[in-house]
Amino acid sequence: MSPQAGDLFTVDGLEVEVRFRGGHRVKAVDGVSLRVGEGETLALVGESGSGKSLIALGAVDLLPPGAEVVAGRTAFQGRVLQDLEAPDWRRLVGMGIGVLFQDALGSWDPIEMIGPQSGEVLEAHETLGAEEVRRRVLDALGRVRLPRRLKYASYAHQLSRGQAQRAMLAAALLSLPRLLIADEPLSGLDVTVGRAVLSLIDDLRRERGMGLLLVTHDLGVVAGVADRVAVVYGGVVVEEAPVAALFRAPRHPYTDGLLGSVPALARGRLRPIPGDPPGLGELPHGCPFAPRCAHAVAGCRQERPCLRPVGDSQVACGRAEDLALPGTGA
């Protein structure tokens, strides 16, 4: 994917392998390219296990043990992360890119209080006095609607999952990042707090031109905040499109299946996707979606379709022009 004017963050040809016991390795992300512009929100959607977190974290080299980037280039504000020495990488990712991990509770150090732990990123990269760091942390905790002083002095085990999630958002926003990578930021939050957190993120995007790479299961959230959507299946992007086009006229049968599985979007005609997502290392020959696709023909099983432009979308389906998929009808 060649960088375009206004690109803040580009990922090109990302491949991630995961390791099993005994050293057996399997490709879990295969050739994913993405871009996020200044002030833009790109949503990554797909069923559980499709590879969304590996893509989001692999792009900034923050994968958990057992997973490894084996190919790909990531550029942030014109600088290629893979070319940077470790201290420059830490500064760029620590200050320029905020990351909100899916496992919020497990991401905190259990033996250090939340407040001082949050402030470490500022202490490492900015010459701020201890009092100013503390003030900024308290302010950030307040913005995510946590009781500031109480939570500043809490340990991770004293927080609920939703509180840990919000504290992590506060920490991720402390350095005023230009890009926020948020992996399921609303999981564990009730509807009211979830809405408040989402609108905080969206306000920051608007006010500061922050880019947002949003990983979520929730297509309602996607409809409300995303500019573009990348749909992930079996570790590859099978469709990418502006949000309105994707909901109105999905081009890939998997995208249509995701929309048809959500009661609020299917408008009384629930159309769940048959079968299960493929297991790791079990992608079929040809189109990975073929075993579950109502539109599959023999040719679909011969060659894996690549992303190509069809209408407003980039789509990896050999039959995209022939299909009139219902989408949400919106």
Contacting residues toward Mg ion, per CB under 5 A: 53, 102
Q: Which does 107 bind (CB under 5 to 8 A by kind): ligand SF4, ligand ATP, Mg ion, none?
A: none
CA distance 73 to 5: 18
Cβ(155)–Cβ(164) below 8 Å: no
Q: Between 94 and 326, whose beta carbon lies closer to ligand SF4?
A: 326
Six token digits for residue 323: 């299909």
Q: What is the smallest separation between the CB atom of 183 and ligand ATP, expressed in angstroms?
A: 7
Query: Can you tell me which residue has the tokens 């919000």?
Result: 166
Q: What is the smallest separation between the CB atom of 130 and ligand ATP, expressed in angstroms?
A: 36
Contacting residue, 2, 48, 127, 192, with ligand ATP by CB under 6 A: 48
Q: What is the smallest separation between the CB atom of 18 and ligand ATP, expressed in angstroms?
A: 4
Cβ(252)–Cβ(288) below 8 Å: no
Q: What is the smallest separation between the CB atom of 50 and ligand ATP, expressed in angstroms?
A: 4
Contacting residue, 37, 46, 162, 286, with ligand ATP by CB under 6 A: 46
Neighbours of 27 (CB within 10 A): 18
> 312-315: long-range contacts (C-beta < 8 A, 24 or more apart)?
312/241, 312/242, 312/245, 312/249, 313/239, 313/240, 313/241, 313/245, 313/246, 313/250, 313/251, 313/252, 314/237, 314/239, 314/240, 314/241, 315/238, 315/239, 315/240, 315/241, 315/251, 315/252
Taking CB under 6 A as the rule, does residue 280 contact ligand ATP?
yes
Which residues lie closer than 8 Å to 282 by C-beta, 6 or more apart? none
CA distance 255 to 240: 10
Q: What is the smallest separation between the CB atom of 315 and ligand SF4, expressed in angstroms?
A: 8
Q: Which does 317 bind (CB under 5 to 8 A by kind): ligand SF4, ligand ATP, Mg ion, none?
A: ligand SF4
Site for ligand ATP in 167-196 (CB under 6 A): none
Size of the residue set binding ligand ATP (CB under 6 A): 15
Quote the radius of gyration of the chain (alpha carbons, Å): 20
Q: Between 52 and 148, whose beta carbon lies closer to Mg ion?
A: 52
Phi-psi region of 77 (alpha: psi -120 to 50; beta: other; left: phi over 0): left
Q: Which does 221 bind (CB under 5 to 8 A by kind): ligand ATP, ligand SF4, Mg ion, none?
A: none
Q: x/- contact string, 277-306, with ligand SF4 (CB under 6 A)?
A: ----------x-xx--x-xx---x----x-
Beta-bridge partner residues of 315: 239, 308
Taking CB under 6 A as the rule, does residue 318 contact ligand SF4?
yes
> Contact positions toward ligand SF4, by CB under 6 A?
252-253, 287, 289-290, 293, 295-296, 300, 305, 317-319
Q: Which residues of this chain interact with ligand ATP, rule CB under 6 A?
A: 18, 28, 46, 48-54, 64, 66-67, 102, 280
